[in-house]
Amino acid sequence: MKAVATWLCLSVTLVHSAAQTWPGTQWEACAPEAVGLSTEKLTALRDIVGGRGCVVRHGKMAFAWGEQSKSYDVASAVKPVISTLLLLAVQDGKLASTDALVADFEPRLKSLNNGKDAAMTWRHLASQTSGYGLSEKPGAAYSYNDFALALYYDTLTEKVFQQPGVEVFRQRLAEPMQFQDAISFDKPRPGRLALSVRDFARFGLLALHKGKWGDQQLVPGGAFETMFSSPIPASTPLTRKEDADMLPGQRSLGGTKSITPNGPGVYSFNWWLNRTDKEGRRALPYAPLDTILASGHGAKRMLWVIPSLDLVVSWNDSVVDDHDKSPGNPVTKLNRAARLIVEAVADTKK
């Protein structure tokens, strides 16, 4: 693990002096070496990841592979986008805070399961601790629950914003950031975001700069501070997987009520943080400590935000599928990719 510690130390102490660039209707492209990256390492990254993807540094498109304009479902990598919309609702005064009760907008929760679900907050939904459809009370246990996420998305868009999710996303984010390609928020079902890897990289750049886009603050900086610094305690127990009632006709965002045991210690407002779980395992041993991820289908669809490297990486339809096996395990495909991302910066002159 000495090598792991070396990479972590090196990667989080880099200093960047390059001026920030913001894409317009097109990305400004450059050679990897022009922004301190290694073509050799990024080529190796492409070969491990497959599918299609891109690498952005200092706001410039430095490396890309596959069909950049193809718009496709990002699966669970959409979840941090939903939480960004939640924080916009708080900014707009539509919600008092993330600790407001969901039942204020979905009153049927007040009597569901003899009132168990009445205490559910938006923070619970964004943290996968809502207990929705399960025996636990809100906040009592962790369950990566796509039925709860569908409740989250539907209530937020239909009853808080009172607009289709795609329109909120388009008006507040996609249009100001000048997305290049087609987007949808309803394929294969409502709440599933489809966009291109280069447009998802724009969202990553927004997150890297904590809501700032050029001279506009599209999302309050404090919103990203909240999302990036509120992990579920590592001691949070996992669900017992005992079913409870849900609202009539409740749909899923795509998966089950308990998809992965990973989360406590490393999950924050639907983002994955590079922290440690209750066993002391680092989520991504080779990545910088400030790495933030949106991940779907086990890492097949992914967005990396690494502030200390001024770096955004986006990919889709990849062959990487071992996110669940990566905590403390440097030999997974995901961690091999992480090491190449770091080496692509460390092996060149800044």
| pLDDT single digits (tens) 64-110 | 999 999 999 999 999 999 999 999 999 999 999 999 999 999 999 99
What's the start-to-end Cα distance of the chain, in Å?
Answer: 26
Find the range with the poorest average confidence among 181-190, 247-256, 326-335: 181-190
pLDDT of residue 63: 98
pLDDT of residue 233: 98
How much of the chain, in percent, has pLDDT values that exceed 90? 91
- Asked if residue 227 has pLDDT above 80, the reply is yes
- Asked if residue 17 has pLDDT above 50, the reply is no
Q: Which of 191, 209, 189, 332 shows the shortest CA–CA distance to 262?
A: 332
How large is the average pLDDT for residues 262-266? 97
| Stronger pLDDT, 11 or 211, i.e. the higher one | 211
Is the bond preceding residue 220 a cis peptide, omega within 30 degrees? no
How far is Cα 35 from Cα 61, in angstroms, rounded to an integer?
10
Distance, C-alpha 9 to centroid of its chain: 24
pLDDT of residue 70: 98
Which residues are paired to 54 by β-bridges? Answer: 64, 314
Single-letter amino acid, residue 241 = K
Q: What contacts 296, CB < 8 A, 6 or more positions away? A: 73, 74, 75, 76, 77, 78, 302
In this structure, what are the phi and psi dihedrals at residue 326, rounded to the nearest 5 degrees? -85, -25
| pLDDT single digits (tens) 273-287 | 999 999 999 999 999
- Asked if residue 119 has pLDDT above 50, the reply is yes
| pLDDT single digits (tens) 89-100 | 999 999 999 999
How far is Cα 250 from Cα 252, in angstroms, rounded to an integer?
7
Question: Which CATH number is 332's domain given?
Answer: 3.40.710.10
DSSP H helical ranges for 34-142: 39-49, 79-91, 122-127
- Asked if residue 12 has pLDDT above 70, the reply is no
Q: Which domain holds residue 139?
A: 2-346
How far is Cα 131 from Cα 148, in angstroms, rounded to an integer?
8
How large is the average pLDDT for residues 137-153? 98
Q: What is the mean pLDDT of the chain?
A: 94
pLDDT of residue 13: 37
As for how many domains the chain has, the answer is 1
